């Protein structure tokens, strides 16, 4: 209520709950869409292992794939020890 | 149920001819309690009142409610599970509404669970219903599990019902994504809008909801006490000709039937009295 009449007259500049709701929703939906299911993550890990294995000898069991989230960005982080490079490709 | 009554009700089938197929529209929301069932009943009644044959199908198996909302709870013999499993004919499962010509209810089963039907059953069922009715409205249960999967199987179109609340909008977004994944482009009804709260900045406006969801609007329904009163008695809000929600549903029904000249009216806060008018002109809304 304060945001209506008195807000307009005295210019309190306080954000209405309506505006807050809209902003929160917009952020929530963006975050929701960044969420990746375990199933997809596993499939992705398998594909990445296959590709890397073409060029390097890697320890498949110690490979780790994660999504790291910060406030303003999400990063796909892959950690794997490389045992050796393959001489011949294929 | 008299035999003559059933025969009468299916005359329209012959009129339609065998080549004309009905349209299946699923009414869904993700979140429960936003008015899906009331919307299904009201749109079914409104479309039938406009001269089409309509079957409304309650897919909330185990938690049926469309029957009580429509005031037909005392006439259930067979249900949608019986029909889908071939234990009865369409004419036996479809309860004819005696008040509105052309309106039929196929109730949910109350004793089975949501896994009583699968998508194959639903594909067969919708095919059968298309032969008999102009419009088939599917009342989808809340959630994104089997009941949702079943309800969208065989649907040509989808209507997403959403209230101006963060939880309802978020769930609607999820449902819209799932519908797109099935190549269905949904249309949106924003339900239970309270205009004075929107004006005061205490409620999301339909524009806000539309912005966040970026989906085409098909109607706006104002919060209306008379909807609750109509549900209490099992009558239709569209028959309350002065009710704002009833009028809104009738307009949506016309748009569903393809008349896009019918406007989507925005619920307006009635500024009563001189002071209200002055402040409204000045842009200082209470």
Whether A45 is covered by a domain: the verdict is yes
Whether A4 is covered by a domain: the verdict is no
Residues in chain B within 8 Å Cβ distance of A26:
212
pLDDT digit string (tens) for B113-153?
878 999 999 999 999 999 999 999 999 999 999 999 999 99
CB proximity list for B237: less than 8 A, separation 6 or greater = B38, B42, B224, B226, B227, B230, B243, B245, B246, B249
Distances (CA, A) of B215 to B55, B172, B249: 26, 10, 19
pLDDT digit string (tens) for A13-28?
788 999 999 999 999 9
Interface of B with A in 189-248 (CB under 8 A): 198-205, 208, 211-212
Average pLDDT over residues A54-81: 80
What was the pLDDT predicted at B277?
A: 65
Interface test with B, best of A2, A12, A21, A29 (most B CBs within 10 A): A21
- Distance CA(B189)–CA(B165), nearest Å, equals 13
- Distance CA(B184)–CA(B127), nearest Å, equals 18
Q: What is the ipTM of this complex?
A: 0.79
Whether A5 is covered by a domain: the verdict is no
- What does R_g of chain B's alpha carbons equal in angstroms? 19
CB B230 within 8 A of CB B187: no
Confidence at B11, pLDDT banded by 50, 70, 90:
very low
- Distance CA(B156)–CA(B42), nearest Å, equals 20
Residue B96: strand pairing partners:
B104
Structure-token pair, residue B21: 């197929």
- Distance CA(B84)–CA(B128), nearest Å, equals 9
Whether A38 is covered by a domain: the verdict is yes
Residue A3, number of CB atoms within 10 A of its CB: 18
Going by DSSP bridges, is the β-strand pair B54-58/B103-106 parallel, antiparallel, or unpaired? parallel
What was the pLDDT predicted at B150?
A: 96
Interface test with A, best of B164, B171, B193, B200 (most A CBs within 10 A): B200
Q: What are phi and psi of B28, to 5 degrees?
A: -140, 170
Closest by Cα among B135, B115, B139 to B60: B139
Handedness of CA B194, B198, B199, B200 (dihedral sign): positive
Whether A49 is covered by a domain: the verdict is yes
Whether A72 is covered by a domain: the verdict is yes
- What does R_g of chain A's alpha carbons equal in angstroms? 24
The reported pTM is 0.80
Structure-token pair, residue A3: 């945001």
Q: How many CA atoms lie within 13 A of B162 on its CB side?
A: 36
Residue at token pair 């709950």? A17
Tally of domains in chain A: 1
CB B108 within 8 A of CB B64: yes
Cα angle B248, B253, B255 (rounded to 5 degrees) comes to 95
- Distance CA(B72)–CA(B220), nearest Å, equals 27
Closest by Cα among B167, B196, B214 to B34: B167
CB contact under 8 A, B284 and A4: yes
Whether A8 is covered by a domain: the verdict is no
Q: Which of B173, B208, B284 sits opposite A29 (nearest CB)?
A: B173
Higher-pLDDT residue of A60 and B105 is: B105
CB contact under 8 A, B170 and A9: no
What was the pLDDT predicted at B4?
A: 43
Average pLDDT over residues B204-214: 96
Whether A3 is covered by a domain: the verdict is no
Interface of A with B in 42-71 (CB under 8 A): none
Q: Which domain holds residue A57?
A: 15-85
């Amino acid at each position: 209520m304060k945001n209506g009449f008195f807000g307009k007259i005295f210019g309190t500049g306080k954000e209405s709950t309506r505006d807050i709701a809209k902003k929160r929703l917009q952020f929530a939906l963006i975050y929701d869409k960044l969420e990746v299911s375990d199933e997809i993550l596993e499939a992705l890990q398998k594909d990445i292992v296959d590709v890397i294995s073409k060029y390097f000898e890697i320890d498949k069991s110690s490979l780790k794939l994660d999504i790291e989230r910060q406030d303003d960005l999400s990063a796909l982080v892959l950690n794997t020890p490389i045992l050796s490079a393959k001489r011949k490709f294929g | 149920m008299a035999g003559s009554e059933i025969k009468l009700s299916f005359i329209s089938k012959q009129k339609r001819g065998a080549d004309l197929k009905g349209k299946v529209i699923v009414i869904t929301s993700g979140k429960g309690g936003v008015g899906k069932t009331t919307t299904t009943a009201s749109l079914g009644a409104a479309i039938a009142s406009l001269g089409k044959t309509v079957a409304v199908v309650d897919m909330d198996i185990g938690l049926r409610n469309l029957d009580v909302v429509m005031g037909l709870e005392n006439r259930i013999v067979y249900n949608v599970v019986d029909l889908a499993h071939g234990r009865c004919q369409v004419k036996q499962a479809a309860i004819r509404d005696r008040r509105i010509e052309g309106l039929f209810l196929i109730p949910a089963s109350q004793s089975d669970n949501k896994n009583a039907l699968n998508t194959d059953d639903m594909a067969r069922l919708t095919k059968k219903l298309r032969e008999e009715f102009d419009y088939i409205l599917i009342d989808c249960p809340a959630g994104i599990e089997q009941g949702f999967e079943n309800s969208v199987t065989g649907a040509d179109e989808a209507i997403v019902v959403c209230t101006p609340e963060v939880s309802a909008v978020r769930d609607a977004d999820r449902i819209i994504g799932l519908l797109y994944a099935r190549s269905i482009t949904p249309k949106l009804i924003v339900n239970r809008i309270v205009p004075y709260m929107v004006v005061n900045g205490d409620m999301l406006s339909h524009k806000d909801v539309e912005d966040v969801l970026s989906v085409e609007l098909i109607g706006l329904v104002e919060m209306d006490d008379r909807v609750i009163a109509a549900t209490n008695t099992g009558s239709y809000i569209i028959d309350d000709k002065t009710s704002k929600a009833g009028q809104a549903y009738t307009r949506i029904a016309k748009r569903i039937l393809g008349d896009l000249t019918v406007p989507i009216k925005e619920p307006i806060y009635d500024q009563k009295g001189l002071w209200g008018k002055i402040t409204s002109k000045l842009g200082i809304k209470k």
